[in-house]
A = this chain, B = another copy of it.
Amino acid sequence: MGHEALDRVATPFLALDRSVVEANAARLRAHLDGLGAVLRPHVKTAKSVEVARLLFDGGVGPITVSTLAEAEAFADAGFTDVVYAVGIAPDKLDRVIALRRRGVDLVVLLDSAAQAVEVARASRERGVPVPALVEVDCDGHRGGVLPGDPAVLAIAEALVSGGAELRGVLTHAGESYFAYTPEALTAAAEAERLAAVRVAEDLRAAGHEVPVVSVGSTPTAHAVTDLTGATEVRAGNYVFFDLVMAGIGVCRVDDLALSVVTTVIGHRPDKGWIMTDGGWMATSRDRGTARQPVDQGYGLVADLDGTPYPDLLMTDASQEHGTLSVRPGSAAALPDLPVGTRVRVLPNHACATAAQHDRYHVTSPGSRAVEAVWPRVRGW
């Protein structure tokens, strides 16, 4: 297609193994098959229409977004079944309504009567009933209403009586990112389901219809064994995976689809360092594995064909400099990488690393050819 190959594109840049994305997508689909819930991928990790199409066999399907910029870009590409899974700020309702008028079934999230009143007011004033999900807190990680809190009924009442629509409930097991055993992950998935179903039942008992019960995170979606009462599962990171997910056992390092390609620009043998042209501007400042049993620095380092060097990490970063060195305590030797050598850095957190870039260079394992260049959605 005329794209420069991996050994020619100006570094640093993102390399994306398409077949790894496809395998990750197939694995989660297979896991959820028969559990009775729809998969609604979160596009916040890849922010790429082309990556999302891989998840739907080239077509479109239900998605979750983290920004209205994503909702608008994916609407342009034909994705019309969208949950905006960040609590709604009233100032954003104009854009929500504009999307609904375009035919996008965009659903907002909220966890307070104050928000419900604003959603209802906008619905009435603009003549466009906006559907909303009530956010449920299943593990104290972020926002949401606690199961059993009477605020849930006040929120539902404010929506329905005010002219908006109660679409259902949504929860996210943020604490599952800190679960380190299969049992802990399955327990987190069950806690997530039970919290959402409990609130849905409370709402039904009060006479509301609750068509949507939405649960999920990458760790719990892969661990869940029972989705009774849930109608849909969300997961985002799984399309790429990363070292944090490998650290909690949700994937293997081989399942990482994304890497940052950088070039060696120098050596400090007195310090055991190799310097590259990829700093935190290319990897992000995310050091998610610092909180895990195995700290991977700013990332594991592999050769340009994807084979990791023994215990070689990106251990430090300034804006446009990366420092590679051997994992502390390892007996591995620093590899001999001449100036100009290209390496791949496997990231801690794919969402954060991808966000540093405007595009993906799409390739296949074992090949240096770039099949395509896919843009990312940016901004808000």
CB-defined contacts of A87 to chain B, threshold 8 Å: 265-266, 275, 277, 321
B266 touches A112 (CB 8 A): yes
| Given known contacts A143-B266, A338-B114, A339-B114, A89 and B285 CB-to-CB distance under 8 angstroms | no
A339 to B91, CA, bound (A): 10
Looking at A44, A118, A340, which has the most chain B CB atoms within 10 Å of its CB?
A: A340
Chain B nearest CB from A269 CB (Å) reads 11
**Measured between C-beta atoms, what is the minimum distance from A70 to chain B in Å?**
10
> A174 within 8 Å of B by Cβ?
yes
Residue of B nearest to A142 (CB): B321
Q: Are B13 and A380 in contact (CB under 8 A)?
A: yes
State how many copies of this chain the complex holds: 2
| B90/A340 in contact, CB under 8 A | yes
Q: How far is the CA of A282 from the CA of B86 in the complex (A)?
A: 14
Question: Is residue A200 within 8 Å, beta carbon to beta carbon, of the partner chain?
Answer: no
Smallest CB separation, A60 vs chain B (Å): 23
- Listed stretches A163-171, A179-187, A221-229, A348-356; interface member: A348-356
A358-B339 contact, Cβ under 8 Å, with A87-B266, A271-B140, A321-B86: no
Enumerate chain B residues within 8 angstroms of A292, measured Cβ to Cβ: none
Contacts of A296 in B (CB 8 A): none
Q: Which residues of A, 261-290, contact B by the 8 Å Cβ criterion?
A: 263-268, 270-271, 275, 277, 280-282, 284-287
By the criterion CB–CB under 8 Å, are A320 and B281 in contact?
Answer: no
Find chain B residues with CB under 8 A from A323 CB: 142
* B12 close to A275 (CB less than 8 A): no
B11 near A352 with CB under 8 A, answer: no
Interface string of A112-150 (1 = CB under 8 A from B): 101100100000000000000000000010110010000
CB neighbours of A44 from chain B (8 A): 319-320
**Given A67-B320, A143-B266, A339-B118 contact (CB < 8 Å):** yes
Mark interface residues in A189-211 (1 if CB within 8 Å of B CB, else 0).
00000000000000000000000
Inter-chain contact A174/B284, CB cutoff 8 Å: no
> Known contacts being A319-B66, A380-B11, is A89 close to B284, with CB within 8 Å?
no
For A341, the closest partner residue in chain B by CB is B89
| Contact of A340 (CB < 8 Å), options: B11, B118, B266 | B118
Q: A142, B89: Cβ atoms under 8 Å?
A: no
Nearest B residue to A338 via CB reads B114
Tell me which residues across on chain B come within 8 A of A338, comparing CB atoms: 114
Annotate A13-29 by CB proximity to B: 1 below 8 A, 0 otherwise: 10000000000000000
Contacts of A285 in B (CB 8 A): 284-287, 352
Which residues of A are interface residues toward B (Cβ below 8 A)? 8, 10-13, 44, 66-68, 86-92, 95, 110-112, 114-115, 118, 140, 142-143, 146, 174, 263-268, 270-271, 275, 277, 280-282, 284-287, 318-321, 323, 338-340, 351-352, 355-358, 378-380
Q: Which 3 A-B pairs have the closest CB atoms?
A: A87-B265, A285-B285, A89-B263
15 contacts between A and B (CB under 8 A): A13-B380, A66-B281, A86-B265, A87-B265, A90-B339, A111-B266, A112-B339, A114-B338, A115-B266, A118-B339, A142-B275, A143-B266, A174-B318, A285-B286, A358-B378
